[in-house]
């Protein structure tokens, strides 16, 4: 018996080795990174080609792209997308495009994880240079995370785990227990083949349903002829072609299909032998080993298509497979125990057999539990990317939920271990049932994780410079002259000018010429430049594009107008700000934030690490009550202990969540030591005060007490700004203003305030609430 078990273990390890040696993808979810022309670009002439670069390889067969003008009419003659050898860059040829605003819509399938993404972006063809450029943002959405797809993946994953777990439980625990308690009667050793066949069938059906639902956008759009491909029957991965994802799914389908055929064949062979009055030959161990290997192969296919394998390569795919195998040890326990109890008809023999099996199984579970934790910890940082993402993303929220469920299952498993040693079978079985339910929920979370974009693969945000268009207004007689400068910084700028009636505001169309005269700062060392504006297709609007303020500083802008009734003129002071490169910021938070009950507990718990004293003291009270009940007869404290245990859970979760959020918002070491480049002068403080009143006081209040008009209902509340600022260095304050704080209402101000604005705000905060000491 031991020899067969060792052979099964060796076979499983060989399966994992094959999983690790198989070709592996390199990322997870195909996100659009770059486009040519750039998203939001305004082009003087039409491009002849579009290119799009994605974060990972895409399937060239199913990639599609359309271009539409601003009326929504599709552009005819757009070429078929071609993908480079790396699979990450797609390009299409374009026909001649007349002046218009164009929308590029695309749909791509990741060659690595099979997720389908569709999105769009804009560009403008404007030979006159008079139209406002579109926004530079791109929009995308995943078509592979619907509830039905998650449910199908859960069915496949859950029953695949139960299939392997039940086979292992019967091979390593149930058979030895039956052998010892029933004297080796062959009939009692028969494995639950119908149960194993049902699990294998549901695993195969779940995979088939998952692939069918996931492929609907492809099949419905005509990107592929359909399932099966007309060659191999039951090839539900056919719409995904020969991509790594399709190959991994075929491995999973084959594994579950072989397990089903083995279990069904064994069941009917036993049934036929009994029908003919013969004792069936005891081939159970060998067939169980084959079923376990087939189930492990099915799980290996899922691991090859996992985010871990995509992001980390074969080694992390192997870790993911070990994780699934270790989890299966738990989920396979309850079905096997139910079979044992049913055969014993609930009597003493059945309970004693189940208890013997549990004793053997508990030794395996002790190894499996840390293996689940270790492999999960090995893969999680790879998919999270940073501690911030643990609370700032939906993927991190799901990972926390999975960890909480796992911790609960560990606690129940520890209780089971001691109860088994004490031979308390009646108390063990309900706990095992609860453990199985928690395991099923954890698998549901895992299935959702599989169809959710990993936090680490979400592209960062490039913040646009916080320099807005400058609007200049001046009057001359009965006319108002308006000049728009976009943007007032060195580089190519757009200038637009209009002349309107000072009373009615109606633009004048009798203007013959508008000229701009640029006078640089005194120390610039460059001369005055005159620029004549061109009339646009709207008679009242004049404009030009060019680099006319090449150095920052205080420029003088003279506007000279010649119209039907004479000449007009006015002058403006034009502050040209230094050009700043876009700042790289973390992707926008899409997590659930802090639930209101947890935020309330934060408010009543002691600050910082002192908060852990609450659950520790409550645990001490539970121990004291238990000791009191044991020593004093007639004292019942069970109700109090249950209530205190609930408080331990709530306070522990609250303190732990607060620690996780604090770690997520912690600045990097480089930010802590940053010094303010702007001296804390009265002028800087005055600018910072204006910025504070305009951007911060609505939540923090004018006096920083957290009582602003927008503070009501915020969880967590803004709190006392003074007590917080006094503890923070200038670099930390700047980091928080720039990046915002996850799980709070504080946004990033990188796209709203310039770098100098943020340092002025830091000077005001520290000047108003000076650091302690």
CATH number of the domain that 496 lies in? 2.60.40.1930
Segment 153-170 shows an average pLDDT of 92
Residue 45 in domain: no
Is 448's pLDDT higher than 80?
Answer: yes
Residue where a domain terminates, one of 563, 579, 595: 579
Q: What percent of the chain has pLDDT over 90?
A: 31
Residues 270 and 380 in one domain: yes
User: Are the C-beta atoms of 484 and 495 separated by less than 8 Å?
Assistant: yes
Give yes or no: residues 305 and 187 share one domain: yes
Average pLDDT over residues 654-664: 85
Cβ(312)–Cβ(428) below 8 Å: no
Task: Tell me the chain's radius of gyration from C-alpha atoms.
Answer: 34
List the beta bridge partners of residue 569: 560
Pick the closest to residue 742 from 664, 671, 668 (CA basis). Answer: 664
Is 173 a residue whose pLDDT tops 60? Answer: yes
Reported as a pLDDT band with limits 50, 70 and 90, residue 438 is confident
User: Is 49 exposed, middle or buried, given 0-12, 13-18 or 19+ CB atoms closer than 10 A?
Assistant: exposed
pLDDT confidence of residue 542: 92
pLDDT at residue 13 in the model: 41
Pair (431, 550) in one structural domain: no
CA dihedral 72, 75, 79, 85 (to 10 degrees): -30
| Least confident segment among 308-312, 313-317, 548-552 | 308-312
Domain check: are 256 and 369 in the same one?
yes
Q: Is the pLDDT of residue 33 over 70?
A: yes
Comparing 552 with 458, which gets the higher pLDDT? 552
Lookup: tokens for 486: 């976009």
* Domain extent for 743: 669-768
pLDDT at position 256 is 96
SS3 209: helix
> Is 57 a member of any domain?
no
Measured between alpha carbons, how far is 734 from 761 in angstroms, rounded to an integer? 9
Please, what is the average pLDDT of the chain? 83
Q: Please report whether residue 657 resides in a domain.
A: no
Domain boundary among 590, 625, 652: 652
Check whether residue 547 and residue 636 sit in a common domain.
Answer: no
- Domain containing 717 — which CATH number? 1.10.760.10
CB 658, CB 594: distance < 8 Å: no
Judge if 547 and 617 occupy the same domain: no
Q: pLDDT band at residue 762, thresholds of 50, 70 and 90?
A: very high
Q: pLDDT band for position 106 (50/70/90)? A: very high
Assess if residue 346 is contained within a domain: yes
Residues 573 and 635 in one domain: no
Q: Residue 451 pLDDT > 80, yes or no? A: no
Q: What is the DSSP string of 689-733?
A: HHHHHHHTHHHH-TTSSS--TT-TT-SS----HHHHHTT--HHHH
Residues 435 and 482 grouped into a single domain: no
| C-alpha to C-alpha distance for 754 and 7, rounded to whole angstroms | 66
Say if strands 116-125 and 42-43 run parallel, antiparallel, or are unpaired: parallel
Output phi, psi for 197, to 5 deg. Answer: -65, -40
Q: Is 737 part of a structural domain of the chain? A: yes
Q: Are 224 and 241 in contact (CB under 8 A)?
A: yes
C-alpha distances out from residue 338 to 141, 316, 341, 615, 706, Å: 44, 35, 5, 37, 58
Whether the Cβ atoms of residue 449 and residue 150 lie closer than 8 Å to each other: no
- Residue 158 belongs to some domain of the structure: yes
Output phi, psi for 143, to 5 deg: -100, 10
Same-domain check for residues 294 and 379: yes
In a domain, 597, yes or no: no
Domain count, the chain: 4
Please state the rounded mean pLDDT for residues 114-127.
Answer: 88
Chosen domain end from 421, 436, 457: 457
Cα separations in angstroms, 438 against 126, 406, 498, 565, 744 = 60, 8, 69, 84, 30
d(CA 682, CA 686): 6
User: How does pLDDT run across 697-752, given as a tens digit for each residue?
Assistant: 889 998 888 888 888 878 778 888 888 898 899 999 999 999 888 888 888 888 78
pLDDT attached to residue 18:
36
Q: Is the pLDDT of residue 425 over 60?
A: no
- Tell me, yes or no, whether 541 lies in a domain: yes
Same domain, 524 and 553: yes
* pLDDT value of residue 700: 92
Instruction: Supply the pLDDT for residue 180.
Output: 74
377 vs 583, more confident: 377
Tell me, yes or no, whether 373 and 481 share the same domain: no
pLDDT in tens, 518-550: 999 988 889 999 999 999 888 899 999 889 999
3-class SS of residue 349:
helix
In this structure, are residues 34 and 197 in contact, taking their beta carbons and an 8 Å threshold? no
The answer on pLDDT for 66 being more than 90 is yes
pLDDT at 228 over 50: no
> In sequence order, what are the residues at sequence separation of 6 or more whose Cβ sits closer than 8 angstroms to the Cβ of residue 188?
178, 182, 343
pLDDT digits (tens, 9 = 90+) for 77-102: 998 899 998 889 999 999 999 999 99
pLDDT higher than threshold 90 for residue 167: yes
Claim to verify: residue 16 and residue 165 sit in the same structural domain: yes
Q: What is the mean pLDDT of residues 576-600?
A: 76
Whole-model pTM: value is 0.72
Q: Could you count the other beta carbons within 10 Å of the beta carbon of residue 263?
A: 29
């Amino acid at each position: 018996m031991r020899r067969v078990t060792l052979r099964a273990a060796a076979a499983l390890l060989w399966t994992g080795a094959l999983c690790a040696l198989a070709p592996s993808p390199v990322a997870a979810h195909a996100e659009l990174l770059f486009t040519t022309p750039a998203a939001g670009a305004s082009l003087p002439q039409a491009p002849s080609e579009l290119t799009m670069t994605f974060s990972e390889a895409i399937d060239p067969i199913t990639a599609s792209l359309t271009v539409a003008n601003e009326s929504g009419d599709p552009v005819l003659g757009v070429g078929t997308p071609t993908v480079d050898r790396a699979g990450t860059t797609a390009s299409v040829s374009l026909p001649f495009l007349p002046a218009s605003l164009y929308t590029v819509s695309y749909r791509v399938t990741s060659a690595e994880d099979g997720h389908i993404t569709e999105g769009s972006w804009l560009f403008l063809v404007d030979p006159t240079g008079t139209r406002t450029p579109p926004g530079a943002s791109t929009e995308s959405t995943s078509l592979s995370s619907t509830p039905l797809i998650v449910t199908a993946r859960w069915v496949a994953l859950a029953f695949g785990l139960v299939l392997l777990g039940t086979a292992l439980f019967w091979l390593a625990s149930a058979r030895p227990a039956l052998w010892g308690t029933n004297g080796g009667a062959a009939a009692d050793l028969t494995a639950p083949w119908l149960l194993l066949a049902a699990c294998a069938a549901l695993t195969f059906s779940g995979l088939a349903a998952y692939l069918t639902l996931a492929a609907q956008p492809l099949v419905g759009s005509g990107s592929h002829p359909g399932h099966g491909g007309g060659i191999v029957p039951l090839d539900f991965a056919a719409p995904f072609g020969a991509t790594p994802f399709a190959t991994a799914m075929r491995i999973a389908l084959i594994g579950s299909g072989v397990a089903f055929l083995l279990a069904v064949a064994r069941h009917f062979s036993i049934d036929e032998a009994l029908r003919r009055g013969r004792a069936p030959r005891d081939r159970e161990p060998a067939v169980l080993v084959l079923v376990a290997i087939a189930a492990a192969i099915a799980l290996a296919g899922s691991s090859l298509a996992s985010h871990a394998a995509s992001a980390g390569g074969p080694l992390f795919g192997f870790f993911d497979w070990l994780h699934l195998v270790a989890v299966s040890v738990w989920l396979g326990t309850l079905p096997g125990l139910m079979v044992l109890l049913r055969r014993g008809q609930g009597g003493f023999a059945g309970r004693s057999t189940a208890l013997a099996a549990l004793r053997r199984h508990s030794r395996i579970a002790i190894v499996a539990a840390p293996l689940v934790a270790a492999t999960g910890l090995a893969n999680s940082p790879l998919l999270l990317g940073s501690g911030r993402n643990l609370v700032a993303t939906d993927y991190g929220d799901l990972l926390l939920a999975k960890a909480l469920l796992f911790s609960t299952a560990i606690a129940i498993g520890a209780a089971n271990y001691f109860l088994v040693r004490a031979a308390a079978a009646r108390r063990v079985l309900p706990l095992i049932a609860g453990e199985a339910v928690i395991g099923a929920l954890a698998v549901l979370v895992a299935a959702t994780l599989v169809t959710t974009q990993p936090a680490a693969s979400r592209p960062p945000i490039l913040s646009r410079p916080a320099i807005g268009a400058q609007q200049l207004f001046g009057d001359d007689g009965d006319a108002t002259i308006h000049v728009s400068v976009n943007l007032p910084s060195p580089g190519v700028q757009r200038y637009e000018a209009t002349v309107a009636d000072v009373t009615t505001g109606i633009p004048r169309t009798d203007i013959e010429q508008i000229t701009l005269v640029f006078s640089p700062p005194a120390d610039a060392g460059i001369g005055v430049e005159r620029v004549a504006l061109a009339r646009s297709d709207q008679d009242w609007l004049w404009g030009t594009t060019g680099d006319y303020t090449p150095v920052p500083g205080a420029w003088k802008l003279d506007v000279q107008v010649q119209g039907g009734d004479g000449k007009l003129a006015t002058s403006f002071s034009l502050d040209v700000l230094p050009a700043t490169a876009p700042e790289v910021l973390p992707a926008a938070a899409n997590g659930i934030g802090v639930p209101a009950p947890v935020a309330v507990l934060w408010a009543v718990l002691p600050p910082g690490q002192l908060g852990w004293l609450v659950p520790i003291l409550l645990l001490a009270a539970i121990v004291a009550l238990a000791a009191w009940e044991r020593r004093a007869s007639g004292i019942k404290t069970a109700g109090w202990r249950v209530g205190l245990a609930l408080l331990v859970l709530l306070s522990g979760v609250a303190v732990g969540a607060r620690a996780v959020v604090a770690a997520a918002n912690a600045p990097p070491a480089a930010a802590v030591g940053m010094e303010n480049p702007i001296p804390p002068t009265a002028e800087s403080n005055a600018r910072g005060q204006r910025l504070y009143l305009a951007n911060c006081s609505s939540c923090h209040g004018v006096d920083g007490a957290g009582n602003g008009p927008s503070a009501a209902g915020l969880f967590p509340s803004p709190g006392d700004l003074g007590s917080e600022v006094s503890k923070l260095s200038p670099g930390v304050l700047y980091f928080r203003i720039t990046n915002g704080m996850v799980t709070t209402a504080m946004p990033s101000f990188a796209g709203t305030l310039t770098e100098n604005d943020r340092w002025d705000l830091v000077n005001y905060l520290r000047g108003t609430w000076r650091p302690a000491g």
